[in-house]
Amino acid sequence: TAPVRNKLAAAAEYLGVIEPVVRVAKDAPVRMSRPDVVPSTPADPDRLEELSERWGLSGSVDRLRAAISPDDAG
């Protein structure tokens, strides 16, 4: 769409230099120190809420909660 194209064009300089910063290191060693199972509830819900409010992350935290919550629809 035109608005998306305009935003990309406006960010062209930034996008040109950001790749080295965000590139994923495919050769980094990964050592598992504990199970990698995603919990269905936050370890510290009160702290998560505090951080959400402090940093204005309510939308992101809401999406996180929805993503990790058991699916009640089934």
CA 17 from chain centre, in angstroms, equals 21
In a domain, 63, yes or no: yes
Cα separation, 52 vs 44, in Å, equals 12
Say how many domains are in the chain.
1
32 lies in which domain range? 2-68
pLDDT in tens, 23-62: 778 898 988 888 888 888 999 999 999 999 999 999 999 9
28, part of any domain: yes
- Is there a contact between 48 and 42 (Cβ–Cβ < 8 Å)? yes
pTM summary value = 0.49
User: Is residue 24 assigned to a domain?
Assistant: yes
